[in-house]
Amino acid sequence: MSIIKQLEQLGIKAQTDIKQADSGDVLEKLRVGLLGKKGALTSILRGLKELSVEEKREVGGLANRLKGTIEESIATKREALSGGSGGSTIDYTLPGKPHAHGHRHLVTLVMDEFISIFQRMGFEIADGPEIETDHYNFGALNFPDDHPARDEHDTFYVDGGLLLRTHTSNVQIREFEKRTPPVKIIAPGRVFRNESVNARSFCVFHQVEGFLVDENVTFGDLKGALEAFCYEYFEEGVNLRFRPSFFPFTEPSAEVDVQCFLCSGKGCTLCKYEGWLEILGCGMIDPEVFRSVGYDSEKYTGYAFGVGIERMALLKYRINDIRLLYENDARFIRQFR
């Protein structure tokens, strides 16, 4: 029997068998038996070597058409067996798969908590630009021209003499220019510093700047406000200490430390084995800052402070590496709903 005749008979038998198939498994076995490496079509085509070139061309074309017809018939039959569902069988009686709901990031949760606490203490909220001029970021805040913070090793500069703000203190100056005392404001936002990335620091982080200007404001008012904030935020006994420090825009100045929660003051890698962690800087606003915005420094006094969101998040939730907040590992993020 010629190869062409064999192919014609194979095609007729294949269509009959495909039509009679009553399940996907039977159809798959039929496909392998017809078109597989050891299938009927392959066996017939082994005789091509005995044909002339013209006969090979004719038989080859017929075989390709037959293969395409069989594949199309099998696909049509498979769809029919599955009820026209595109080749997949769906059991609509099975329970559906639940979809996980998104939630706010831990940094956002802590930021919102800060805002809520300070709002209850009577602070308003203000915002300012992240791309700032030297005047608002440094000059009006009494930074001398040769201050190290102005150096490119500490600050990110962009075109046009602008820079990425290194603190939200720029909002302090902008609000002072628009308002007259009393002024009681917090300025939450993102800030940028050209720092090495490690377990304790990151080049991008978030800060809440706070300031109060009025008559007869004292350092005792500042100390009381910060203690009240820390006691409410940590929701448990917390040990604080105020250390003398220096900032160009405050005088006197202080840094506030909290006893390390990870080691209870005994010393660990997070606190560099000192037992304490700095959480904020603060002080009484320098009269030079008042003069730059036209406030009467003989009449008004005020305080200012800056709190880092990420540092406070690490402390409250016992996290030992700030980089975990920005690696976007879903296993970590899902722990803080």
pLDDT value at residue 87: 47
Residue 92 lies in a domain: no
pLDDT value at residue 47: 73
d(CA 266, CA 293): 45
Residue carrying the six token digits 């904020």: 280
d(CA 167, CA 143): 13
What is the distance, to the nearest Å, from the Cα of residue 150 to the centroid of all Cα atoms in its chain? Answer: 29
pLDDT digits (tens, 9 = 90+) for 35-51: 887 888 788 777 777 77
pLDDT digits (tens, 9 = 90+) for 254-297: 999 988 877 878 888 767 888 888 889 999 999 999 999 999 99
Residue 30 lies in a domain: yes
Residue 273 lies in a domain: yes
pLDDT digits (tens, 9 = 90+) for 144-154: 888 888 888 88
On whether both 213 and 153 belong to a single domain, the answer is yes
On whether both 74 and 158 belong to a single domain, the answer is no
Nearest 5 degrees, angle CA 111-CA 116-CA 119? 120
pLDDT value at residue 172: 94
On whether both 53 and 193 belong to a single domain, the answer is no
On the question of a cis peptide bond just before residue 182, with omega within 30 degrees of 0, the verdict is: yes
On whether both 137 and 62 belong to a single domain, the answer is no
Domain count, the chain: 2
On whether both 163 and 74 belong to a single domain, the answer is no
pLDDT digits (tens, 9 = 90+) for 79-124: 888 765 444 567 778 888 888 788 889 999 999 999 999 999 999 9
pLDDT digits (tens, 9 = 90+) for 192-233: 998 888 877 788 999 999 999 999 999 999 999 999 999 999
Which residues span the domain enclosing 7? 3-81
On whether both 123 and 254 belong to a single domain, the answer is yes
- Give the residue, 316 or 271, on which the prediction is more confident: 316
Neighbours of 25 (CB within 10 A): 9
Taking only Cα atoms into account, the Rg of the chain, rounded to an integer number of angstroms, comes to 37
d(CA 53, CA 127): 82
Q: Compute the mean pLDDT over every residue in the chain, rounded to the nearest whole number.
A: 87
pLDDT value at residue 83: 65
On whether both 219 and 155 belong to a single domain, the answer is yes
On whether both 138 and 263 belong to a single domain, the answer is yes
**Distances, alpha carbon 235 to alpha carbons 113, 229, 238, 256, in Å:** 12, 10, 8, 18
Question: Tokens representing 30?
Answer: 């039929």
Residue 50 lies in a domain: yes
Residue 90 lies in a domain: no
Percent of the chain with pLDDT strictly greater than 70: 97
pLDDT value at residue 82: 74
SS (H, E, C) the chain: CCHHHHHHHHHHHHHHHHHHCCCHHHHHHHHHHHHCCCCHHHHHHHHHHHCCHHHHHHHHHHHHHHHHHHHHHHHHHHHHHCCCCCCCCCCCCCCCCCCCCCCCCHHHHHHHHHHHHHHHCCCEECCCCCEECHHHHCHHHCCCCCCHHHCCCCCCECHHHCEECCCCHHHHHHHHHHCCCCEEEEEEEEEECCCCCCCCCCCEEEEEEEEEEECCCCHHHHHHHHHHHHHHHHCCCCCEEEEEEEECCEEEEEEEEEECCCCCCCCCCCCCCCCEEEEEEEEEECHHHHHHHCCCCCCCEEEEEEEEHHHHHHHHCCCCCHHHHCCCCHHHHCCCC
Residue 64 lies in a domain: yes
Residue 171 lies in a domain: yes
Percent of the chain with pLDDT strictly greater than 90: 45
Highest mean pLDDT among 159-163, 270-274, 293-297, 310-314: 293-297
Residue 62 lies in a domain: yes
On whether both 77 and 128 belong to a single domain, the answer is no
- Specify the CATH number for the domain of residue 263: 3.30.930.10
SS (H, E, C) 269-299: CCCCCCCEEEEEEEEEECHHHHHHHCCCCCC
On whether both 173 and 252 belong to a single domain, the answer is yes
On whether both 181 and 266 belong to a single domain, the answer is yes
Q: What is the pTM of this model?
A: 0.67
Q: Residue 192 in contact with residue 281, Cβ under 8 Å? A: no
pLDDT value at residue 122: 95
On whether both 66 and 215 belong to a single domain, the answer is no
